[in-house]
Amino acid sequence: MEQNKYLEDISEIKNMMSRSSRFISLSGISGILAGIYALIGAYLAHSILVKNPLYMFSSKTDVTRYSMLNLNNLYFIAIGVIIAAAITGVLLTLKKSRESGEKMWDVTSKRLVFNFLIPLFTGGLFCLSLIQNEIYGLVAPATLLFYGLACVNASKYTLRDVRYLGFANIIIGLIATQFIGYGLYFWALGFGVFHILYGSIMYFKYDKKN
Amino acid sequence: MSLIDNINKAFDHRIRLGIMSILMVNDYADFNMLKEMLGATDGNLASHTKALEKETYIKVEKQFIGRKPNTRYSTTPLGKAAFKKHINALEKLIGK
């Protein structure tokens, strides 16, 4: 019947509009796993810090008094968490995009990655300069703030839900500026708990339906 | 005037519908992006873009990126208005 054809036309229009402007194959599970990695990382970092009360995120700390080994361990944990989260994210997104027939590396995903990386890269460099100037207390709030901004910026090119993850991280990033020395807890909340929450919401909203 | 009259014959094909949908939400799209999104062959896509260009619903810009020729498509105001009218007509026909 004619009516069916019109219905098909409309759904084709909607499908093309969303697929050409947004990358929608982000995996919810990868968000949950990224959050779990972050919590494990935070736990490991915490146990190092408790053993050697470094309080590296306190502006009053004289980092030079502490052994470089511990500082290096913290960097290793941070880098390990990032790499694990990135690999998991890419693999699960690849799987999901294959299932939905969407190309993983197309115009929309390139645009998404590019726009996500602008604030993130800026933030990374800014944090390096904070470390360089020994303003350690603001590193944790700054990472949360820039990560939040990156999410808000990227949300224009993917599922809108990423926007709320961004807002949440911006808010606790700002709050964290008032609690210098507790950076690790804010990290665990922002990168850990919020990711798990966001990933679960995405999973139940988009992945489970299909 | 019946509702059917608002259905635009120029959009009465899946590929053309796709081209217009993509260009409605993107400032522009190049040939390869359209091809990728629509899963069309070069010749097929070219004939449909030409048809839409003839109606002045879309604008074509040819340029070079480095040494590679690149064809960019975007909607004209006329094309946008015509497509909106077409969508409205489709929705009304379904709604009946």
In a domain, A142, yes or no: yes
> A46: which residues sit within 8 A by CB, 6+ positions away?
A184
Here the tokens at position A7 are 């219905």
In a domain, A17, yes or no: no
In a domain, A4, yes or no: no
Radius of gyration for the alpha carbons in chain B, expressed in angstroms and rounded? 14
Measured in residues, chain B has a length of: 96
The whole-number average pLDDT for the span A43-54 is: 76
The continuous run of DSSP H or E covering B30 comes out as: strand B29-30
* A11 and chain B in contact, CB less than 8 A: no
Number of domains in chain A: 1
* A19 and chain B in contact, CB less than 8 A: yes
Domains of chain B as residue ranges with CATH: 8-85 (1.10.10.10)
In a domain, A88, yes or no: yes
In a domain, A180, yes or no: yes
Separation CA A48–CA A208 (nearest Å): 39
Interface of B with A in 49-68 (CB under 8 A): none
Question: Is residue A6 scored above 60 in pLDDT?
Answer: yes
Sign, CA dihedral A111-A209-A85-A138, equals positive
Of the candidates A74, A181, A158, A71, which has an alpha carbon nearest to the alpha carbon of residue A109? A158
- Chain B neighbors of A2, CB-CB under 8 A: 93
pLDDT in tens, B69-90: 899 999 999 999 999 999 999 9
Separation CA A37–CA A169 (nearest Å): 17
Instruction: Report the first-to-last Cα separation within chain A, whole angstroms.
Output: 28
**pTM: predicted TM-score of the whole model, two decimal places:** 0.80
- B63: three-class secondary structure by DSSP: strand
> B76: which residues sit within 8 A by CB, 6+ positions away?
B56, B57, B58, B59
Which residue type, as a one-letter code, is found at position A119? P
Question: Is residue A60 scored above 80 in pLDDT?
Answer: no
In a domain, A66, yes or no: yes
Please calculate the CA angle A133-A136-A142 and round it to the nearest 5 degrees.
100
* B25 and chain A in contact, CB less than 8 A: yes
Question: Per residue in A134-160, is it b (16+ CB within 10 Å) or e — as a string?
Answer: eebbbbbbbbbbbbbbbbbbbbebbbe
**Residue A155 to chain B, least CA–CA distance (Å):** 15
Of the candidates A85, A39, A33, A18, which has an alpha carbon nearest to the alpha carbon of residue A202? A33
In a domain, A5, yes or no: no
Burial class (CB in 10 A: 0-12, 13-18, 19+), A108: buried
Minimal-distance CA residue of chain B relative to A111: B26
Mean pLDDT of chain A: 87
**Residue A55 to chain B, least CA–CA distance (Å):** 48
- Chain B neighbors of A12, CB-CB under 8 A: 14, 17-18, 21
Residue-range definition of the domain harbouring residue A120: 27-207
Separation CA A180–CA B55 (nearest Å): 63
- More confident call, A57 vs A137: A137
> In the prediction, which pLDDT does A72 show?
79
- Asked if B25 and A21 come within 8 Å (Cβ–Cβ), the reply is yes
Helices (H), chain A: 2-21, 28-51, 68-100, 107-132, 139-154, 162-176, 183-187, 194-202
DSSP-derived pairing of the beta strands B68-75 and B58-65: antiparallel
- A159: three-class secondary structure by DSSP: coil
The whole-number average pLDDT for the span A58-79 is: 65
pLDDT in tens, B7-44: 888 898 899 999 999 999 998 999 988 998 898 999 99
ipTM surpassing 0.90 = no
Radius of gyration for the alpha carbons in chain A, expressed in angstroms and rounded? 20
Edge-first strand order for the sheet with B29-30 is B29-30, B68-75, B58-65
- Asked if B24 and A106 come within 8 Å (Cβ–Cβ), the reply is no
pLDDT in tens, A96-129: 888 877 778 888 889 999 999 999 999 999 999 9
Minimal-distance CA residue of chain A relative to B37: A20
> In the prediction, which pLDDT does B37 show?
87
In a domain, A57, yes or no: yes
